[in-house]
Amino acid sequence: MTNTSGPIILGIEGTAWNLSAAIVDYNDVITETTATYSPPTGGIHPREASQHHADHIGSVITKVFLEADGKGINPSDIDAVAFSQGPGLGPCLRTVATAARALSLSLDIPLIGVNHCIAHIEVGRWKTDAVDPVVLYVSGANSQVLAYRKGRYRVFGETLDIGIGNALDKFARGAGLLHPGGPRIEELAKGATSYIHLPYVVKGMDFSFTGMSTAASNALQSSLLEDVCYSLQENAFAMLVEVTERAVAHTGKDEVLLAGGVGANMRLQEMLKIMCRERGIKFYAPERRFMGDNGTMIAYLGLIMYQHHTFTSISQSHAWPNYRPDDTPVTWRQD
Ligand code: ATP
Ligand code: FE2
C-alpha cells in the first residue's frame, strides 16, 4: 500500500449535475472519478439527471477502485463509505444513497450520510489555511452565509427564493446561452461598457434573486448582453459581499472562506478580497476543483465524521432533499 495516513474513506456525490466518487485519506485525495450530466437543452431535469447517475454509478465506482488499486489500495482497505444525503434533487439523492448502502453492505463497512453544504465548507477548511471562517457558500441551489458556533454551522443569512447560481443560469437560458450560465456570464461581463440598474434586494441578513434575474432578462430588450451580464454580477455579488461583511462584524471572526460552484467566479473573489483587505481580515478560496460539486468533499467530511464515530444506520440513510446545514450536530469541532 502507498503511504496513507489514518482511515481511508470512499465518498459519493450526486445531489444534482455531477456524479463523482473519490477515495481520500487525511493527507490528500487518493483518487477521484466524475461523470457529469449536461442537459442537451434547458436546465437540469431531476429525473434525467438521476437516470444519468444510475447509468454511470457502476462505471464510476469501478474506475475509482481500479485507480486506487494502481496505488496499492484495495476495496478491503476502505474504512467507510460516505454519501451526500442532502440537500439536493430527490431522484438523484435516492440513486446515490442506494449505491452507498449496497457498498456498505457488500464491503461490510459503516455508512456515513453527510450534509452536502457542510462538505463544501470542510473541503475548503482542508484545502486552505482557514480555521474558523465566516463562509459564503454560493452554488446553483444554495446561497448562504454561515459560521460555526456552539456545535453547529449557523446560517446567518440566506436566499429567500432561489440560489444565485440558479438565478444566473435562468437568466443565461433566457438569453440563449448554454447551461451552466455562470461561467458564460463571467466571460461576457468582461466586454461591458456600461452599468444598468437592477433590483438590489437584501432584507435583514437575507437576499432574494428572482426579481433581479427577471429584471435582467427584461433589460435585454434595450441593453447589450455584455452590459446586462456585467450589471447582474456587480449587483448580485455586492448583495452577497454586504451580508458576508455584516456576518463578519457580528461574529468578530477574522477569516472569510468562499465555497460552492459560483465561488469559481473571479469577480466575486475580487470583491470579497477587497472587503477583507479593508477590514484587515484573511480571505480564502480553495482551488477550483474543490469549489463545484466533487466526490472528494463528501469523502473528506466522511473521514472527519468517521474519526468522531458519527455513523448513519441503514434505516437513517434515506434521501433528505431539504437537509439544512444547521440540522447537523458538528461533532468534530470544539468551541
Ligand atoms: P448545490 O447542491 O451546492 O447547490 P450545485 O449542484 O448547484 O450545488 P455547484 O457545482 O456547487 O453545484 O454549483 C454549480 C453552479 O455554479 C451553477 O449554477 C453554475 O452556473 C455556477 N458557476 C460555475 N462556475 C461559475 C462562474 N465562473 N461564475 C458564476 N457561476 C458559476
Ligand atoms: Fe454543491
Number of domain units in the chain? 2
Residue of 44, 293, 294, 298 with the most ligand 1 atoms within 8 Å of its CB, for mutation:
293
* Element at 152 (helix H, strand E): strand 152-158
- Asked if 181 and 232 sit in the same domain, the reply is yes
73 lines ligand 1 (CB under 6 A): no
Instruction: Give the cell for residue 302.
Output: 466522511
- Asked, for residue 3, whether it belongs to a domain, the answer is no
Task: Specify whether 13 is located in the same domain as 142.
Answer: no
Question: Does residue 218 lie in a domain region?
Answer: yes
Ligand 1 contact via 88 beta carbon (within 6 Å): yes
Can you tell me which residue has the cell 443569512? Answer: 157
Q: Are residues 168 and 273 in the same domain?
A: yes
Inter-residue contact 270 to 238 (CB < 8 Å): no
* Ligand 2 center from residue 87 Cα (angstroms): 9
Q: Rounded to the nearest whole angstrom, what is the distance from the C-alpha of residue 49 to the centroid of ligand 2?
A: 15
Query: What is the residue with the minimal CA distance to atom 21 of ligand 1?
Result: 262
Residues 170 and 280 in one domain: yes
> Does 203 lie in the same domain as 321?
no
Q: Strand, helix or coil at 240?
A: helix
Same domain, 73 and 152: no
Q: How are beta strands 9-13 and 18-24 bridged, if at all?
A: antiparallel
H-type alpha helices, 24-153? 46-70, 90-107, 116-127
165 Cβ closer than 6 Å to some ligand 1 atom: yes
Query: Ligand 2 centre and the CA of 76: distance in Å?
Result: 29
Domain presence at residue 335: no
Q: Are residues 165 and 249 in the same domain?
A: yes
CB atoms within 10 A of CB 5: 9
pLDDT at 3: 63
Ligand 2 centre and the CA of 120: distance in Å? Answer: 7
Give Cβ neighbours of residue 118 (< 8 Å, ≥ 6 apart).
Answer: 153, 301, 325, 328, 330
User: How many other CB atoms are there within 10 angstroms of residue 250's CB atom?
Assistant: 12
Which CATH number covers residue 87? 3.30.420.40
Considering the domain architecture, whether residues 94 and 153 belong to the same structural domain is answered as: no
Q: Is residue 332 included in any domain, yes or no?
A: no
- Answer yes or no: do 213 and 146 share one domain: yes
239 and 308 share one domain: no
Judge whether 1 lies within some domain: no
Boundaries of domain holding 92: 9-121+291-327
Asked if residue 125 has its Cβ within 6 Å of ligand 1, the reply is no
Pair 137, 281 in one domain: yes
Position 287 scores a pLDDT of: 96
Residue 197 CA: distances (Å) to CA of 194, 200, 240, 305 = 10, 9, 17, 46
Q: Which grid cell sits at 277?
A: 483587505
Residue 2 falls inside a structural domain? no
Q: Is residue 28 part of a domain?
A: yes
Reading the chain (335 residues) residue by residue, the pLDDT tens digits are 556 668 999 999 999 989 999 999 999 999 999 999 988 777 789 999 999 999 999 999 999 999 999 999 999 999 999 999 999 999 999 999 999 999 999 999 999 999 999 999 999 999 999 999 999 999 999 999 999 999 999 999 999 999 999 999 999 999 999 889 999 999 999 999 999 999 999 999 999 999 999 999 999 999 999 999 999 999 999 999 999 999 999 999 999 999 999 999 999 999 999 999 999 999 999 999 999 999 999 999 999 999 999 999 999 999 999 999 999 999 999 88
- Residue 312 bridge partners (DSSP): 111
CA of 81 to the centre of ligand 1 (A): 25
* 150/280 same-domain check: yes
